Amino acid sequence: MNTRLKKLNLSTLSFGVLLLMMLLGASCSKEKDKTKVYDSPEAIPVSREMIAELTSPPNVPKPTGRRKAKKLIVNMEILEKEGEMTDGVKYVYWTFGGSVPGSFIRTKIGDEVEFHLKNHPDNKLPHNIDLHAVTGPGGGATSSFISPGHEAQFSFKVLNPGLYVYHCATAPVGMHIANGMYGLILVEPEEGLPEVDREYYVMQGDFYTKGENGDRGLQPFDMKKAVDEDADYVVFNGKVGSLTGDNAITANVGETVRLYVGNGGPNLVSSFHVIGEIFDAVRVEGGDLINENVQTTLVPAGGAAIVEFKVDVPGTFILVDHSIFRAFNKGALGMLKVQGDDNKKIYSGKQEEGIYQPEGGGIQEMPAEEGVATTEETAKTFEEKMEYGKATYMQTCFACHQAEGQGIANAFPPLAKSDYLNADLNRAIDIILHGKTGEITVNGEKYNSVMTKQDLTDEEISNVLTYVYNSWGNSKKEITPSMVASRRNVH
């Protein structure tokens, strides 16, 4: 199919030449519009400003076409929100723009991007952004670190064309990425990318949950499995089934399709493959190198690729990570549904939808166990206090202090056997009510970070602190709602 590709390039070329002749005819000074005139992308001037169109997967913004470099304003909001990993399995995702992967950003070489990163006030954690398309320390991470309820602004000029990953780089970095904080930013060359009929955004990620694959209820992140690279879910676009059935991407026979494929990781490398198609062209690793006639392309963690192909026959084409157990057992399976007339010369067989989905990527066994209890009711006994307190802990505190209260070195202090906690009960209540900043020493280690104020009722705080004080070798105190109430107005 590479003849088609050459034809494509040829037609854009002749169109370009025609346009150039027209421009030359109009005025000689217009010649400076050609890239070659600039010594480096750095010298490309920006004309006017525009607000960037941001899209959630599988959609991508409109091509930049022949527009000139601009001051491009990107407004990106970070949202921590509960979503569904698969049927009956909930997960708290941390997102750029409300989706996993985060909003797709489309730029043109020479653009001066003015980036506004907003951390929603309801979020619990500070975040930042490292864009691989940025030339500068941390890819923007150091300039964009923000706590909930704040906005950070920084600017950069895009100098290199290609498809780049962006991600959060706040400690513990692996955990922020594992919770979904990644996405793609495209830098188009001066002349734009060749036109195609369909463009889609697909990004792989691996997830680590306390329970096994398919265990129901709200599943907290599991740090140990993440460190061991033992993924429970490997998925496209943040969840099992994001690209299957009614969510499948579509095309018509005869159309050209371009997929912007990214891999957020945090750990696994993707062997990206579309069953029943051959990639006519792959922009290897999202760069300038074009490889033709490719069956499977490797997408590294923190990397990307652009794949292009023409669909010649109708049917359902399955997108997979060809590390195949991930596709059929962990979720890395999507669908491209192609409609149109058969072409018996190319493929004679009967097309059957779903033929490649035997064990069913999304079908998990359903263990009887229910999810964690909620804390709506008032605890009547000590046992109930412990039970409700644990539920609150697993929903609110575990993300930072970890499931066994062990904390994370240099980032979140331990609550297990914490001398700081055990020394002063009122101080502990105050920390939950009002938050805490500034240096503290816990079990001989210094921490200097931010714990945001927790939006919990007196009942919830009394339960969660009772749970913490009566777990992991702490001093076994029982806290009542009225003890919490009496601290509300003390600051």
Kindly list the residues in this chain that would bind Cu ion in the complex (CB under 5 A).
Answer: 127, 168, 170, 176, 181
Choosing from 109, 451, 479, 484, the residue that interacts with ligand HEC (CB under 6 A) is 451
- Draw the binding track, 91-130, toward ligand HEC (x: CB under 6 A; -: no contact): ---------------------------------xx-----
Choosing from 155, 357, 454, 471, the residue that interacts with ligand HEC (CB under 6 A) is 454
Distance of CA 157 to the CA centre of its chain: 23
| Strand residue runs (E) in 214-361 | 217-218, 233-236, 249-252, 256-265, 270-275, 279-283, 290-294, 296-299, 303-310, 315-321, 333-339
Beta carbons of 60 and 200 less than 8 angstroms apart: yes
Provide the minimum distance between the beta carbon of 472 and ligand HEC in the complex, in angstroms, as a whole number: 11
The interface region with ligand HEC, picked from 67-75, 136-144, 308-316, 431-439 by CB under 6 A, is: 431-439
For Cu ion, the closer of residues 94 and 328 by Cβ is 94
Provide the minimum distance between the beta carbon of 119 and ligand HEC in the complex, in angstroms, as a whole number: 11
Provide the minimum distance between the beta carbon of 178 and Cu ion in the complex, in angstroms, as a whole number: 10
Provide the minimum distance between the beta carbon of 432 and ligand HEC in the complex, in angstroms, as a whole number: 5
279-283 and 303-310: which strand pairing? antiparallel
Which phi and psi angles does 440 have, rounded to 5°? Answer: -135, 160
- Nearest Cα neighbor of 271 from 299, 293, 243 is 299
The interface region with ligand HEC, picked from 132-140, 185-193, 222-230, 395-403 by CB under 6 A, is: 395-403
For ligand HEC, the closer of residues 144 and 270 by Cβ is 144
Provide the minimum distance between the beta carbon of 281 and ligand HEC in the complex, in angstroms, as a whole number: 45
Contact status: 431 vs ligand HEC (CB under 6 A) = yes
For ligand HEC, the closer of residues 261 and 415 by Cβ is 415
- Compute, in degrees rounded to 10, the torsion defined by CA atoms 296, 299, 305, 311: 30
Three-class DSSP category at 160 = coil
Contact status: 464 vs ligand HEC (CB under 6 A) = yes
Restricting to residues 124-183, which ones interact with ligand HEC according to CB under 6 A?
Answer: 124-125
Active site residue 296: yes
Q: Which one of ligand HEC, Cu ion, none is in contact with 176 (Cβ closer than 5 to 8 A by kind)?
A: Cu ion
The C-alpha atoms of residue 375 and residue 380 are separated, in whole angstroms, by 12
The C-alpha atoms of residue 291 and residue 311 are separated, in whole angstroms, by 18
What are 34's strand-pairing partners?
none
Choosing from 399, 429, 433, 479, the residue that interacts with ligand HEC (CB under 6 A) is 399
Beta carbons of 311 and 253 less than 8 angstroms apart: yes
Three-class DSSP category at 201 = strand
For Cu ion, the closer of residues 105 and 178 by Cβ is 178
Q: Which one of ligand HEC, Cu ion, none is in contact with 168 (Cβ closer than 5 to 8 A by kind)?
A: Cu ion
Instruction: Identify the active-site residue in 80, 111, 130, 280.
Output: 130
Q: Within a 13 Å sphere around the CA of 330, how many CA atoms are in the beta-carbon half?
A: 24
Question: End-to-end alpha-carbon separation of the chain, Å?
Answer: 70
The C-alpha atoms of residue 118 and residue 126 are separated, in whole angstroms, by 10
Contact status: 397 vs ligand HEC (CB under 6 A) = yes
For Cu ion, the closer of residues 278 and 411 by Cβ is 411
For ligand HEC, the closer of residues 181 and 451 by Cβ is 451
For Cu ion, the closer of residues 115 and 469 by Cβ is 115
For the purposes of burial, counting CB atoms within 10 Å of the CB of 352, is it exposed (0-12), middle (13-18) or buried (19 or more)?
exposed
Q: Count residues contacting ligand HEC (CB under 6 A)?
A: 31
The count of other CB atoms within 10 Å of the CB of residue 448 is 9
User: Which H helix or E strand runs over 383?
Assistant: helix 382-392
Active site residue 396: no
Residue 215 zone, left/alpha/beta (φ > 0; ψ -120 to 50; rest): beta
Instruction: Identify the active-site residue in 167, 190, 321, 458.
Output: 167
> Tokens 């026979």, residue?
253
Choosing from 442, 470, 472, 477, the residue that interacts with ligand HEC (CB under 6 A) is 442
Active site residue 480: no
Instruction: Identify the active-site residue in 132, 175, 191, 199.
Output: 132
- Draw the binding track, 404-423, toward ligand HEC (x: CB under 6 A; -: no contact): --------xxxx--x-xx--
User: Which H helix or E strand runs over 50?
Assistant: strand 49-51
Q: Within a 13 Å sphere around the CA of 462, how many CA atoms are in the beta-carbon half?
A: 21
Provide the minimum distance between the beta carbon of 476 and ligand HEC in the complex, in angstroms, as a whole number: 15
Contact status: 223 vs ligand HEC (CB under 6 A) = no
The residues binding ligand HEC (CB under 6 A) are 124-125, 396-397, 399-401, 412-415, 418, 420-421, 428, 431-432, 436-438, 440, 442, 447-452, 454, 464, 468
Active site residues: 127, 130, 132, 167-168, 176, 181, 273, 292, 296, 322
